[in-house]
Amino acid sequence: MPDPLNRWILGAALALAALLIAADHIATTRPAEARADAAAADSAEAGD
């Protein structure tokens, strides 16, 4: 039997994730040259 509480928990988790992503993005978004630097680190990391 589906538990209606599940929807609330998942909705809250989705909202929390959205807030965390937004907060991280706003706090770290910098000029283009810094982003290029980060993209280079991402490329080096993507091995798994």
Q: List residues binding other proteins (CB under 8 A).
A: 1-3, 5-7, 9-11, 13-14, 18, 20-21, 24-25, 28-29, 34-35, 37-39, 41-48
CB of 19 to other proteins, least distance (A): 12
- 34: Cα within 13 Å, side-chain hemisphere: 4
- The closest alpha carbon to 30, from 38, 19, 22, belongs to 38
Neighbouring residues of 29: CB distance < 8 A, sequence distance ≥ 6: 35
In whole angstroms, how close is the CB of 46 to other proteins at the nearest point? 4
At its nearest, how many Å lie between other proteins and the CB of residue 40?
Answer: 8
